[in-house]
Amino acid sequence: MKAILGKLNDELLVNLAIRSKPFCSHVYAAVAYAEGKDHQLVRRCKEYQQHLTFYGLLDDSGAVAAPFLRELLAWGPSLADAHLVKGNFHAKVVWWRGFGAYVGSANLTHKAWFNNVEAGIFIEEDELASSGVGEDLDSLFAYLAAHSIPVSDEVVNKLESLAKDRKAIADQEATLKSKFSMIWSR
């Protein structure tokens, strides 16, 4: 077991993704928030031909960005499948099967993987098996599979439409804040 603390101990999550290459052909990720079609986990899985099974949060804030999901859809089902979990879902687990699992605070965002002070642990595959944690992770992913919706073009289209509405509201809020400041700064 090893602490993954980012810049505090120079153990970035991208290092795990890189080191997983010779050991892993399938990555399971249960991470509430994800952004960017070129996220390092996504990039490494594609480069190393590691199948990615992803579970993210489905909520009104756009927890998982549409470009991230579009990228996984573009790979096709032989390389990736994505699912969204509605409701109380806030997990941060990445399991490089055959290599080990990260369990901690980091979402699949650039800030979490490179800038934030995140805290988690990495458990090597043999320790996952001997401790029973691997069985617990299998149970987690089975639960998520049973309680999620598969991502499709239709799902991403709906998320993109909501993102446009969210941006329009944010623009209006910014205008109101500016007006408030001008009125009350006199």
User: Which residue did the predictor score with more confidence, 114 or 21?
Assistant: 21
User: Mean pLDDT, to the nearest integer, of 159-182?
Assistant: 79
Give the model confidence (pLDDT) of 109-135 as tens digits.
988 988 888 999 999 999 999 999 999
Structural domains of the chain in order of their starting residue, each with its CATH number: 2-152 (3.30.870.10)
Q: Residue 143's pLDDT is what?
A: 97
Percent of the chain clearing pLDDT 90 (strictly above): 72
**Confidence category of residue 174, pLDDT binned at 50, 70, 90:** confident
Q: Are 52 and 45 in contact (CB under 8 A)?
A: yes
Which one, of 54, 183, 145, lies nearest residue 108 by Cα?
54
Q: Are 54 and 72 in contact (CB under 8 A)?
A: yes
Token pair for 108: 């699949």
Cβ contacts of 17-20, under 8 Å, gap ≥ 24: 17/41, 17/44, 17/45, 17/96, 18/44, 19/99, 20/44, 20/48, 20/50, 20/96, 20/99, 20/100
Which one, of 101, 99, 86, 102, lies nearest residue 144 by Cα?
86
